[in-house]
Structures are given as C-alpha cells and as structure tokens.
C-alpha cells in the first residue's frame, strides 16, 4: 500500500475499502478484541461509533453490544452514518441507529446504551444532520460527530454551505449539552465560543490526531472556557495510560510552557469529564458514595519511587502503564483479577481477531488503491 499523504487519502484508500469488506462476524471480532484490550488496560466505560458497509450494516450494533455485554464493560455505541458515497448510505446508517435505540429503550437496565453517530459534517447533508437532531431528541440520546478534524473539514463546509464546520452545526441546532464533538483540531476562537454557549463537549484524541497528522486541538483554550473535554482514542491504540500521557504532554510542547495542562486536568479528561460528555457524571467518573462501582486497582510496586499522598497523581500520570493494572471492576463485577481477564477467553478472542483481520487485509491487497 502506498503511504497515504493526508486524512482524505487515509479515509478513501484505507477506511472506506476496509469497512465495505466487514461482515457481522468481523464486527463481533473487532468489538471483542477492543473489549479485551480495554479491560487489560484498565478501561471500564467507553463510547464507540461503528462503521461498516452493506455487508454488516443490518444489526451490526447487536454484534457489538453482544461483545460488550459478554466482556462486562459499560458503553455507548452507535452506527456512524455518512453520505460519503450516497444519501441512501446515510439513511441506512440512521436507520440502524434508530433500530438499536428502540431496542435499548425496551430494556429496563443495560450497561450498553445507544447514541446517534455521524461520521463528519463534511460528508453529511443538512437534512441528515437535522434527522440526527430529531432522533437524538426523541430518544434523549447523545449525538457524536467528527468536527474540524483536519483543515479540509471547515474548508469543505465553507465552500458548500458558506459556513465553517462549528458555525454550520450551531445554526442547524445540532450543538447542545447532548452533543459530543470529536477532535475539534481546526477551530478558531469564535467557534470555541459557540461550543461553550451551546454547552457541547469535545472528545480529545491526541494519539489519533498524531497518527493522522491533522494537528493539535486547542485543549488549553477549551479548558479555559470550561468546555467539557473527555479523552478518546478514535479507534487507535488501546493503552489509555499512554493516551492520557499524550494529552498531558503534547500541549506543553505545543505551548512551550510546562505548566500547560496539570495532572489533575489530564486525569479529569480520562474520568469525570469523560463521563460528563455522556451525561453520566452523577453515576460515573469518580469514586463516591452512591455512584456505580466501576473502578480499577493499579499495582504501585511497579512505579519508580515510593508513593506518598502528595505525589500519587503525578506518578499515575507520568509512570503508570496498562500492564500495571491488577484489577478491573464494572458495576461491582470483577472483569480482571491479578491481571487475568475473567469474562473473556483471551486466546480465543485474539485468534478470531487475527482470522478476521487477515481475511479483510487479503481482500484489500487485491484492490488497487
């Protein structure tokens, strides 16, 4: 494969062909390996937007949900609707979101909740965005959308709609406390103000943004404006301690100021503010009486110097690794104990993931890209 030179090429030559080859069994295998990696790296709750083509769009969220339930994790999931090829493709994606939300609505209690997912504004018509807003209001479900990830996104919106990305979403009434904007790398001061007054939140994906080479999101400015910022991986790299460390360090480099982003701010992005993005801050994100019993235990013996009350947080941010996690508990249930995953057969999950990925890559190798 010729190395893609920008996000547009990554999408066109890698992601799009890959998702077209995914079947429902591939969706299940993908979800299972993600859950395994999350557990082993100390993640108890996540949000995921599934993307696939016509081979798995029907009930693909059921396969993903089944994997999450089996693993014992907590999650918000949705199907990433897009009109990158046709308007009908976007309609099918929204139909899958509605179908799954209706199914979840009938359950009295579930650790897996639905959301309304859109790939990005640059491949969504005004009608698709309005439809997403209506569905979100009907079910009270969060909306997620990639916004201004690359310089290309606001340029496309400006050319085709006369407005930059965030202004377009704001004018369509898509921004609210129930909206999670992924990335927001290429946003200006006026757009940050619109995000603030609409009470929308932002998912910061530092390592995913580095991989795509799109830039660094203005997270320090977001935090100054008290915009809720949670930590995401955008499907890349499941060691959240490394991701947390990236969020802590990259803005110091970008600002050339070591005071930028404190350890506490970084921790909040990975915990309580991540919960806040999905309206769960009263149930998750901190260890408090009355909250759900989702927590992890880290072995302090692997840290380089003795722990004291005043240095614990800095040690976790600067030194802790996914392999230091000893125990993972979700909803009071042990998912991993003494570094052994209890809920999943690790060998079987890896075997199925390898089989699925090998099949897809063999298919892609036969396609001229």
CB atoms within 10 A of CB 146: 28
3-state secondary structure of 366: coil
Average pLDDT, the chain: 92
Average pLDDT over every residue of 292-300: 94
Asked whether residue 176 is assigned to any structural domain, the reply reads: yes
Distance CA 90, CA 118 (A): 9
Strands 229-231 vs 74-81: parallel, antiparallel or unpaired: unpaired
Do residues 163 and 121 lie in contact, with contact meaning Cβ atoms separated by under 8 Å? no
Q: In DSSP terms, which residues pair with 75 in a beta bridge? A: 46, 112
Could you tell me the residue range of the domain that residue 43 belongs to? 10-363
Average pLDDT over every residue of 234-251: 92
3-state secondary structure of 67: helix
Average pLDDT over every residue of 311-329: 94
Asked whether residue 75 is assigned to any structural domain, the reply reads: yes
pLDDT tens-digit readout, 167-213: 999 999 999 999 999 999 999 999 999 999 999 999 999 999 998 89
Distance CA 225, CA 192 (A): 8
Average pLDDT over every residue of 126-150: 97
What is the DSSP secondary-structure string of 122-174?
GG--HHHHHHHHHHHHHHT--EEEEES-STHHHHHHHHHHSS-HHHHHHHTT-
Tell me how many degrees the CA angle 59-146-56 measures, rounded to the nearest 5. 20
Asked whether residue 368 is assigned to any structural domain, the reply reads: no
Average pLDDT over every residue of 75-84: 94
Q: If residue 353 lies in a helix (H) or strand (E), which one and from where to where?
A: helix 346-365
- Reported as a pLDDT band with limits 50, 70 and 90, residue 367 is low
User: Would you say residue 53 has pLDDT above 70?
Assistant: no
Nearest-10 Cα torsion for 104, 107, 111, 116: 20
> CATH number, domain at 148?
3.20.20.140
pLDDT > 90: what percent of the chain? 78
Average pLDDT over every residue of 123-135: 97
- Reported as a pLDDT band with limits 50, 70 and 90, residue 58 is low
User: Mean pLDDT lowest for which of 21-25, 168-172, 339-343?
Assistant: 21-25
- Reported as a pLDDT band with limits 50, 70 and 90, residue 237 is confident
Expressed in angstroms, the distance from the first to the final Cα of the chain is 7
Reading the block at residue 309, the tokens are 């009350």
Instruction: Give Cα separations from 205 to 12, 149, 153, 249, 331 (angstroms).
Output: 21, 10, 17, 13, 26
- Report how many domains make up the chain: 1
Do residues 141 and 115 lie in contact, with contact meaning Cβ atoms separated by under 8 Å? yes
Asked whether residue 1 is assigned to any structural domain, the reply reads: no
Asked whether residue 243 is assigned to any structural domain, the reply reads: yes
Distance CA 303, CA 319 (A): 6
Asked whether residue 4 is assigned to any structural domain, the reply reads: no
pTM: 0.92
Phi first, then psi: give them for residue 325, nearest 5 degrees: -75, 125
Average pLDDT over every residue of 41-53: 89
pLDDT > 70: what percent of the chain? 95
- Reported as a pLDDT band with limits 50, 70 and 90, residue 357 is confident
Asked whether residue 369 is assigned to any structural domain, the reply reads: no
Beta strands in 178-292 (DSSP E): 179-183, 201-204, 229-231
Asked whether residue 2 is assigned to any structural domain, the reply reads: no
- Reported as a pLDDT band with limits 50, 70 and 90, residue 249 is very high
């Amino acid at each position: 494969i010729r190395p893609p030179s920008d996000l547009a090429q990554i999408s066109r030559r890698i992601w799009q062909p890959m998702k077209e080859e995914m079947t429902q069994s591939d969706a299940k295998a993908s979800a299972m390996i993600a859950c395994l990696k999350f557990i082993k790296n100390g993640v108890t709750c996540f949000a995921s937007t599934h993307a696939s083509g016509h081979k798995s769009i029907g009930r693909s969220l059921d396969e993903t949900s089944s994997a999450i339930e089996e693993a014992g994790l907590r999650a918000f999931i949705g199907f990433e609707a897009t009109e990158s090829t046709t308007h009908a493709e976007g309609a099918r994606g929204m139909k899958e979101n509605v179908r799954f939300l209706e199914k979840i609505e009938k359950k009295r209690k579930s650790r897996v909740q639905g959301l309304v997912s859109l790939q990005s504004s640059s491949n969504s018509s005004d009608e698709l965005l309005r439809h997403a807003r209506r569905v979100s209001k009907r079910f009270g479900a969060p909306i997620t959308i990639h916004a201004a990830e690359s310089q290309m996104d606001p340029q496309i919106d400006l050319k085709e709609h006369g407005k930059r990305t965030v202004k377009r979403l704001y004018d369509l009434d898509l921004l609210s406390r129930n909206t999670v904007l992924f990335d927001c790398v290429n946003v200006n001061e006026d757009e940050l103000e619109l995000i603030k007054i609409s009470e929308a939140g932002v998912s910061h994906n530092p390592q995913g943004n580095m991989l795509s080479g799109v830039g660094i999101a203005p997270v320090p400015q977001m935090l100054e404006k008290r915009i809720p910022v949670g930590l995401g991986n955008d499907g890349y790299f499941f060691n959240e301690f490394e991701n947390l460390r990236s969020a802590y360090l990259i803005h110091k480099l970008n600002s050339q100021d070591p005071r930028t982003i404190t350890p506490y701010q970084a921790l909040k992005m990975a915990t309580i503010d991540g919960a806040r993005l999905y309206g769960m801050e009263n149930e998750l994100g901190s260890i408090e009486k009355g909250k759900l019993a989702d927590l992890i235990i880290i072995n302090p013996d692997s840290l380089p110097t003795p722990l004291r009350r005043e240095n614990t947080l800095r040690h976790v941010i600067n030194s802790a690794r996914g392999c230091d996690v000893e125990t993972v508990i979700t909803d009071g249930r042990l998912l991993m104990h003494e570094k052994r995953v209890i809920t999943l057969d690790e060998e079987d999950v890896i075997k199925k993931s390898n089989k699925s990925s090998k099949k897809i890559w063999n298919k892609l190798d036969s396609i001229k890209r």
